[in-house]
Amino acid sequence: MSKLKLWEGRFSKSTSQIFDLFNASIMTDIKLFEYDILGSTAHVKMLAKCNIILEDEAKLIIDALYQILEDFKSGKIKYEISDEDVHMLIEKELIKRIGEVGKKVHTARSRNDQVVLDERLFCREKNLHLQELIKMLINTIVNLAEENIDVIMPGFTHLQKAQPILFSHYILAYAQMLKRDLLRLRQNYSITNLSPLGSAALAGTTFDIDRFFVANELGFESVTENSIDTVSERDFVLDMLFSLAMIQMHLSRLAEDFIIFNTDEFKFIELDDSFCSGSSIMPQKKNPDALELIRGKTGRVYANLIGLLTVLKGLPLSYNKDLQEDKEFLFDSIETVEMSLVIINEILKTLKVNKENMAISCKSGFINATDLADYLVTKGVAFRDAHFIVGNIVKYCIESSKTLEDLSLEEYKRFCEKIREDVYQYIKIETCVNRRKSYGGTSLESVKRQIDNLKKFLKSL
Ligand code: ARG
């Protein structure tokens, strides 16, 4: 049988130890310690301001709370499973230190609104941190693009060579995804930034409290509107989990691209040794483990989102203990995505871009075939006919092991008599790239504009 609890008044015997272990969330929500102290401090100030407790009592409680936080930070506070959760641990510690007065901290409050408060404070801070990490990564991508501004590579569709593109344009695609991720986090922030405190167990409180005072103390934009909704919902956690899933998905695609580009077959990039591992049996191996883990960990980040959605499905209003499960999902996704962002940033900063291999790769695969068709259009052939003619030319090249550049004018004329000497200039890889001046296209001019816009975006934040 376990130790006595703060809520044991109604109980005639202790809970079973195995249940205590099952019921406890302290191993997880200990991460909310600082936020819980912050919330309690604001709550107690409000209680005194509203004459629910005395000023002196509030001072005593607040001083003790700060002291408890200091002790926690220096590792002096140890928890036991019987403490159940972080809220009970701190309240127990408070009562241990200041006695009877400590018991007043929980006036006009429930753990149901308290835990939401802690989580909102936590999500708010993590949201800002994630925004910083994303900003850093966008900046790294912009630098990488600028350093390799005119490097040409084959672009792919269906993982088949398609058309020549600038490497800078390719890598900036990820900066655009991350920009949207950052904007999504900013939207989430406003939904998260509302104070739930004062909703109490589910129905509000009989005390004449001032919820707006607490909100103001804690820097919240305002307060939530419905006490039942407030203790029951975890939309702001789900928003965060979705944003994290989206970020990790983007990182996973980048990881996959780079795993492919780093292979011996491609050699478009070379990963730095510091982010690869060797094999225990094959001495020659240098494996892209960091990228594989980013790709692999996407599984758990998705699972956390689906996990919490499932916990909430069909959950009756208002608070149910099921909701306690939300924190493991949240913490795991945040830690995983934070680490992935930092690691991918380092990978991008240390990798080598193999310009020569990209250029060699551009020579095969007929990546200028669309341009040849466009050329025929400039000579008055309808695009659909031009497409057919170039298809025939490519077939001829494959059969005779030639590239489009290898064909003589005489050979070209067999397919279309309108082809002239100027075709060779038209299908040059550099010309193909720089002719794509359409807004958002791959020409040097468009990419430079894109970089300017991204820099302006980063500055505007
Ligand atoms: N540890 C709980 C949680 O994380 C706190 C709220 C508990 N409320 C309750 N009435 N048992 O959800």
Query: Can you read off the two tokens belonging to residue 44?
Result: 């107690």
At residue 11, the pLDDT reads: 81
Query: Can you read off the two tokens belonging to residue 412?
Result: 């070209």
For β-strands 222-223 and 194-195, DSSP reports them as parallel
**pLDDT tens digit sequence for 226-255:** 999 999 999 999 999 999 999 999 999 999
At residue 145, the pLDDT reads: 98
The rounded Å distance from CA 419 to ligand 1 centre is: 77
What secondary structure does DSSP assign to 146-184, as a single string? HHTTT-EEEEEETTEEEEEEEHHHHHHHHHHHHHHHHHH
Contact 300, 211 (CB under 8 A): no
Query: In the structure, which protein residues have their CB atom closer than 6 angstroms to any atom of ligand 1?
Result: 25, 29, 85, 111-112, 115, 319, 321, 323-324
Pocket perturbation via mutation, ligand 1, pick of 28, 321, 322 by most ligand atoms within 8 A of CB: 321
CA distances from 218 to 11, 34, 65, 207 (A): 36, 13, 16, 20
Residue 216 pLDDT > 60: yes
Per-residue pLDDT band for 202 (boundaries 50, 70, 90) equals: very high
Pocket perturbation via mutation, ligand 1, pick of 230, 324, 325 by most ligand atoms within 8 A of CB: 324
Residue identified by tokens 């936590």 is 122
Contact 153, 170 (CB under 8 A): yes
At residue 278, the pLDDT reads: 83
What is the residue type of 372?
A: L
Residue 127 pLDDT > 60: yes
Residue 51 pLDDT > 50: yes
Compute CA 94 distance to the chain's CA centroid, rounded to the nearest angstrom. 37
The rounded Å distance from CA 274 to ligand 1 centre is: 43
Residue 2 pLDDT > 60: no
Which residue owns the Cα nearest ligand 1 atom 4? 324
178-191 mean pLDDT: 97
Which numbered atom of ligand 1 lies nearest the CA of 25?
1
Residue 288 pLDDT > 60: yes
Per-residue pLDDT band for 30 (boundaries 50, 70, 90) equals: very high
At residue 9, the pLDDT reads: 79
| Cα 302 to Cα 241: distance, rounded to the nearest angstrom | 8
Stated pTM of the model: 0.94
**pLDDT tens digit sequence for 139-149:** 999 999 999 99
Q: Which residues are part of the catalytic machinery?
A: 158, 279
The rounded Å distance from CA 112 to ligand 1 centre is: 6
At residue 4, the pLDDT reads: 63
Per-residue pLDDT band for 1 (boundaries 50, 70, 90) equals: very low
Beta strands in 327-379 (DSSP E): 352-353
**pLDDT tens digit sequence for 404-461:** 999 999 999 999 999 999 999 999 999 999 999 999 999 999 999 999 999 999 999 9
User: Do you find a cis peptide bond into 232, omega within 30 degrees of 0?
Assistant: no
At residue 140, the pLDDT reads: 98
CA distances from 361 to 56, 265, 429 (A): 77, 10, 11
| Cα 121 to Cα 129: distance, rounded to the nearest angstrom | 13
Query: Which residues are CB-neighbours of 67 under 8 A, at least 6 positions away?
Result: 97
Which numbered atom of ligand 1 lies nearest the CA of 327?
4
Q: What SS3 state is found at 287? A: strand
Which numbered atom of ligand 1 lies nearest the CA of 86?
1
Contact 353, 269 (CB under 8 A): yes
Helices 33-49 and 55-73, packing angle to 10 deg: 170
Residue 212's Cβ-count burial label (10 Å; 0-12, 13-18, 19+) is middle
Arithmetic mean of pLDDT over the chain: 96
At residue 284, the pLDDT reads: 83
**pLDDT tens digit sequence for 87-106:** 999 999 999 999 999 999 99
Which residue owns the Cα nearest ligand 1 atom 3? 324
The rounded Å distance from CA 115 to ligand 1 centre is: 7
What is the residue type of 316?
A: P
Residue 3 pLDDT > 60: no
User: Do you find a cis peptide bond into 195, omega within 30 degrees of 0?
Assistant: no
Percent of the chain surpassing pLDDT 90: 93
Which numbered atom of ligand 1 lies nearest the CA of 115?
5
| Cα 136 to Cα 158: distance, rounded to the nearest angstrom | 31
Residue 59 pLDDT > 80: yes
The rounded Å distance from CA 324 to ligand 1 centre is: 6
